[in-house]
Structure 1
Amino acid sequence: MMKTRKLLCMILVVAAISCFSSMLSFAFSATSSNALMATSSNAWPMDDFVELDDFDSIERPVLMNAGELDGFESTVPASFLSLGVGYSNMSGVVKYVQVPFNSQYYASLALPSDCASVNQFFISISKSGLPSFGRYRIKVRFSSNTGVEYNGGYFWSQKENTNAATQSSSYLIDVSQVSGDWNVSEVIDLGGAQQLDIGVYPKSGTTANLPYGGYVSVYFEKTTESPSYTGAGGAYTSDNAVSDTALNTSKMVDTLEEIVQTISNQLEALWDQMFNLMHVPQLANDDKNTGLITGAIEEQMDADRQNTEDIIAAEESNTTTIINNNNENTEKITNGYDNSALNAENDKLNNSLTEYDNAEKQVMDKVNHALDDINFNQSLDNYMQPILLCSTFMQRLYDNSGGFKDVINLTLIVSIASIVVGIYRFKGGD
């Protein structure tokens, strides 16, 4: 059953991988024309100051078609576009606020509470809204319902790099304007840019330009003309394409592994549910049979336990009887043995040892008596002269003996010790 379960899971996982691989190969075949690098950043420089707030909208101007201005329709979906303002607060700190365009390509910016003066307005295109790398003529038309005059415009783009600092670049451009509306038409090389902003500088730096809103249309057209602006990261090369392909492939592989693991877990859970549904009755019956078998085993174990206890009791009784008989026999052997002959031999040995001690004592008494009778009748000088002569001879002999001195020393020590022990014994010592 477990083998069948694993085989089913393997078949379903392989099928899922095959389907996903087909989708992956199709996606790579379309990369050269319309694939986009993965990012979702809509950030403006100095992201620490970005505030994303909801502002009051301005009434929609009449006789305007959403996303289509002056004869060209927007090629960028509205969900990838946002309207932003850069301003200085009361402390002179530059801050940025962005709001998204709605499905009708309309957005409106209200006056921020800390705004002291307006620096620029801009249309921001996120990574997902940019076409694939290459040269394009970009046309931007913003139809404003606020009468603002502009001092020109700019392009700004950025590119995020893996494990490296983010790149950015900017370029001043000419802007066509009339009654607050403005238009841009330029040839650009997107390069590796992951965000593109098209901005304008209002002539008035006060807050009179807010609220600011209107409709936008952004149009990209492939071209071979020389670009006036190249996006952040420089022109897109084949090396960039290989690097981005490898990065995207790695991310897709990780995603594929997660999908396969999720499918495997779900199949395993489904299999467990099916197994339980199919085998719950059988398991209940097995539990009942197991209870009967267990009861029978327990009864047999109780019977075996009682038999074992009876055997142990009988063995203990027999062992006690044998021990009592052995004790009785030992007592008989011990008390019935005749040891009179052995006692007689012991008495003879003790008498012999006593006689030997007496004889030895008599001999030692005689020797001690003879030693006690020794007297020195001559003067000490008479005794010392031969002793000194002998001592001098022996000393010279000892000095000239070289390495034999150790032997002489040891012999002398042993001799003196033997004499002392002998005298002690002769004088009656133990």
Structure 2
Amino acid sequence: MMKTRKLLCMILVAATISCFSSIPSFAFSATASNALTATSSNALPMEEYLQFDEFDILERPALLMSSDDVVNTVDLSKCRLQLGYYDMSGVLKFKNVNFNSSGYASMSLPSDFASSRYIGFVIMSDALPPAGKYNMSCHFGSNTGGFTYSRCYVNSRKQVGNADTQLSGKDVSFSQSSGDVYVNTTIDINSGLESVGVLMYLTDLVLPYGGYLSVQFTKLSPGASTDVGTAGGSYTPEDAASDTALNTSKMADTLEEIAQTISNQLEALWNQMFNLMHVPQLANDDKNTGLITGAIEEQVEADRQNTEDIIAAEESNTTTIINNNNENTEKITNGYDNSALNAENDKLNNSLTEYDNAEKQVMDKVNHALDDINFNQSLDNYMQPILLCSTFMQRLYDNSGGFKDVINLTLIVSIASIVVGIYRFKGGD
């Protein structure tokens, strides 16, 4: 009996040791696969050839303690996992990855990564609660683990229109365990914030890095004191009045849209009721309208036919008149006796021909006489009397006074007459 009990105890101890020794191996496999599958778009070359099944994915990491559970109150898809790191040249750079709706995100290794400065999560404006004072509880459960954070820093950003971006931040206390981190602090959220970040500083971060996020905001009284202020200062009564006015304006716009929607629906309902009440009358009106339209179309067709008949008759009459006129014109033209007129025309043509012949004979005699004129003397003998006559005529012209215009006109007419006469003597027409 004692041997049996010892044997059973040894088997139980061996089974217990085996179970505890397999837990680290199983956790490592699950977390590694989860990080790789969540970053398939940023996977390392070797990771593209790895395959995982449903048993390799860790649904949710274990919390630090049962008392650390955080009931999520924000849209986690509006949050980012942010890495601050130095590149090979010592330049500080940043990389952001969005959390999914389940609150999971994984950060892959940047190509120019040299060392880490911080890793943390940023709550964007769409995920922040309205302006006011809150208790903020955050839990990030890392499924890659094995890190030690040196400090936790809560910062905020506010973009002021046409001005610089306002920044604010403060170190806060936190709890950590193998990469998991828990932050519980009070914060005064101002209106118009661009983001609130919770950053854990460390220098020995090994990537890829991933995990699940939960964030809970609990409203505090307006007079409560807070550990962390945000960019732009505390939430003042003036900010509250401004937000109230903005919310009132939005509410008025919403009410206007609702009223417009109701009006459109009432109009549609009225149209339906009107159609139901007047459809028979409309059908009867359509029938009567069709009869009237048909009668009008028949009358129009009859008038058109009559018009075409009148036009055809007018064309026939016009053609007959034109033919009669052509026939009468032909009779008048061909029936007239113009023999006497033709005889007189012939006599006139003969007389003109005889006159032309006689004139030609006279002109031939004159031209022959002109051709026979010879200048046997020298040019000087002819020029002396001409010069003497010319001198006399010039003096007479110079002393004629106002009679010069008559002399000039007479001379021009004489010269023109001589030119015309010579032209006619030479046989010109």
TM-score (normalizing by structure 2): 0.55
Instruction: Decide which of 73, 77, 87 is 1:77's aligned counterpart.
Output: 73
Q: Deviations over 1:147-179 (max 9, x none)?
A: 9865332121122455777x3524232415487
2:170 counterpart residue number? 172
Distance 1:230 1:333, change over 3 A: same
Cα 1:378–1:113, aligned 2, differ >3 Å: closer, same or farther? closer
Of 358-367 and 293-302, deviating more is: 358-367
Cα offset, 1:205, TM superposition = 3.9
Q: Which residue in the other structure is 2:190 paired with?
A: 190
Could you tell me how far apart the structure 2 residues matched to 1:340 and 1:385 are? 68
What amino acid is the match of 1:131? Answer: P
Q: How far apart are the structure 1 equivalents of 2:391 and 2:238?
A: 112
Contact kept, 8 Å, 1:192 with 1:234, in 2: the verdict is no
> Alpha carbons of 1:329 and 1:305: their partners in 2 closer, same or farther (altered >3 Å)?
same
Structure 2: distance between partners of 1:123 and 1:357: 127
Q: Which runs of 5+ in 1 are unaligned?
A: 1-48, 69-75, 399-407
Identity of paired residues, percent?
A: 57
The structure with higher relative contact order (CA 8 Å, sep 6+) is 1
- What is the distance in 2 between the residues matched to 1:260 and 1:412? 111
CA shift in 2, pair 1:241/1:362, >3 Å: farther
Gaps of 5+ in 2: 1-38, 43-56, 398-406
Separation in structure 2 between the aligned mates of residue 101 and residue 381 of structure 1, nearest angstrom: 135
Alignment of 1:94-105 (within 5 A): 95-97=95-97, 99=99
Residue correspondence of structure 1 range 215-294 to structure 2 within 5 A: 217-222=216-221, 230-233=229-232, 284-286=283-285, 288-294=287-293
Q: TM-score, normalised by structure 1?
A: 0.55
Q: Is the 8 A contact 1:55 1:110 kept in 2?
A: no
Root-mean-square deviation (CA), in Å? 6.0
Q: Do the aligned partners of residues 199 and 101 (structure 1) sit closer, same or farther apart at CA in structure 2, a change above 3 Å counting? A: farther
CA spacing shift, 1:177–1:349, aligned 2, 3 Å: closer
Paired residues for 1:339-358 under 5 Å: 339=338, 342=341, 346=345, 353=352, 357=356
Counterparts of 1:29-428 in structure 2, within 5 Å, are 56-59=59-62, 64=67, 77-79=73-75, 86-87=82-83, 95-97=95-97, 99=99, 114=109, 119-122=118-121, 124=123, 126-127=125-126, 129-132=128-131, 136=133, 138=135, 140=137, 150-161=149-160, 167=165, 169-175=167-173, 177=175, 182=182, 184-185=184-185, 188=188, 190=190, 192-201=192-201, 205=205, 217-222=216-221, 230-233=229-232, 284-286=283-285, 288-334=287-333, 337=336, 339=338, 342=341, 346=345, 353=352, 357=356, 360=359, 364=363, 367-368=366-367, 371=370, 374-376=373-375, 378-387=377-386, 418-428=417-427
CA distance in 2, matches of 1:221, 1:377: 150
The 3 A distance-change label for structure 1 pair 275 and 379 is same
Q: Is the 8 A contact 1:123 1:197 kept in 2?
A: yes
Structure with greater Cα Rg:
2
Residue by residue over 1:5-36, the C-alpha shift from the partner in whole angstroms, topping out at 9 and shown as x without a partner, is xxxxxxxxxxxxxxxxxxxxxxxxxxxxxxxx
Deviation at 1:201, TM superposition (A): 3.8
